[in-house]
Amino acid sequence: MARLLHNLLLLTVGLTLKIRVMGYWALIYGYCALCTGVALLKLGWNIILRPSTTFQWTVRETPPACLNDTSLGTHCYVKIKESGLRFHYVAAGERGKPLMLFLHGFPEFWFSWRHQLREFKSEFRVVAVDMRGYGESDLPSSTESYRLDYLVTDIKDIVEYLGYNRCFLVGHDWGGIIAWLCAIHYPEMVTKLIVLNSPHPCVFTDYALHHPSQMLKSSYYFFFQLPYFPELMLSINDFKALKSLFTSRSTGISCKGRWLTTEDLEAYLHALSQPGALTGALNYFRNVFSALPLSQSEVKSPVLLLWGERDAFLEQDMAEACRLYIRNHFRLNIISGASHWLQQDQPDIVNTLIWTFIKEGEGRKNYRNL
């Protein structure tokens, strides 16, 4: 009888797990279908309003002058033997000084760290990378090439090929996700971890599943699972959707004095309008669901988490929840009035907080609002 009950228990547990997995993927594909329907309606409306311009967009052949600003650093390339990929990065500061490595988010590239490159080059070897599939770095064609483990290994390889074994790692948005994972899997490599508007991956997964409001804000994750169609929607009307991300009242940079100039915006469009560029960026999203849940989650490095209060894509409650996964000094700063594009929106505040975190002791925990 005991053996029978044991077998029934195992069968019940296995069946429950299968049902949960099926429910997980049913939710993803169902929501993907819903987002697709909404996007089709938007496309139809665009065609009605702008029949002659909807399907027109321009590839920016010539980089704007701001991308060659020597005060930001020197353009360099590194070829990783193991992956065969070539990565572009901009570096400043003396070689041999501690490495501060910057990882950008979506839909950005190295240029999003321009304010930090200028600020920290006095005491660090600062390096802002074009991540796999972005900017002037190589763009693998297959979706499979953008698995999370490959993206994390890229960063480890880049650190080593730069001649370092440790770094101060700074990431925003998708760069933040990769930075969290680097700290989880290679704790000896991360002296201190600094993340901007990007929750710990476990926090994001759990929170989104239990909060419909965040699920709605993350609807683009589901829409981006589709092949080709998201690229089209981001390109129509000469990349209007991309421009809107940075400039609209609801999602764009909040601080009026930090709004992107016409030249800054053209820098982004130069990077993202190149053939295949949008596909490379979107392939990050197309692998994320199969990588969850994480097998490891603890962060052993000291962590500074900076959060823009007016983030249109991520709810603030996730920021404090990250504390659960950190086994070291944790400092959280909520920056009032700041948008998702935090390092560009409030660079002076961000830079000051990073300096403070780098130089402070690791013994006590702090939380304060700015």
Q: What is the pLDDT of residues 34-66, one digit of tens each?
A: 777 877 888 888 889 888 788 899 999 999 999
Q: What is the pLDDT of residues 205-241, one digit of tens each?
A: 999 999 999 999 999 999 999 999 999 999 999 999 9
Q: Which residues face 326 on adjacent strands?
A: 299
What's residue 22's pLDDT? 61
Residue 152 tokens read as: 């994390």
**Cβ proximity of 180 and 201 under 8 Å:** yes
CATH code at position 349: 3.40.50.1820
CA–CA dist 79, 369 (Å, integer): 42
Residues 6+ apart with CB under 8 A from 361: none
Q: What is the pLDDT of residues 11-41, one digit of tens each?
A: 565 556 556 556 655 666 676 777 778 778 8
**Cβ proximity of 279 and 63 under 8 Å:** no
Q: Would you say residue 218 lies in a domain?
A: no
Q: Would you say residue 19 lies in a domain?
A: no
**Cβ proximity of 342 and 172 under 8 Å:** yes
What's residue 370's pLDDT? 47
What's residue 38's pLDDT? 79
What's residue 53's pLDDT? 82
What's residue 351's pLDDT? 98
CA–CA dist 66, 118 (Å, integer): 13
Q: Would you say residue 318 lies in a domain?
A: yes
Tally of domains in the chain: 1
Q: Would you say residue 325 lies in a domain?
A: yes
What's residue 8's pLDDT? 58
What's residue 369's pLDDT? 42
Q: Would you say residue 17 lies in a domain?
A: no
Task: Report the predicted TM-score, pTM, of the whole model to 2 decimal places.
Answer: 0.90
Q: Would you say residue 337 lies in a domain?
A: yes
- Give the burial class of 91: count Cβ atoms within 10 A of its Cβ; 0-12 exposed, 13-18 middle, 19 or more buried: buried
Q: Would you say residue 160 lies in a domain?
A: yes
Residues 6+ apart with CB under 8 A from 253: 246, 247, 259, 260, 339, 341, 344, 345
**Cβ proximity of 203 and 332 under 8 Å:** no
Flag residues of the chain having pLDDT under 50.
Answer: 362-370
Evaluate the CA torsion angle 165, 99, 126, 325 in order and state its sign. Answer: positive
Domain of residue 317 covers 65-205+253-359
What's residue 16's pLDDT? 62
What's residue 368's pLDDT? 41
- How far does Cα 4 stand from its chain's mean position? 49
Q: Would you say residue 101 lies in a domain?
A: yes
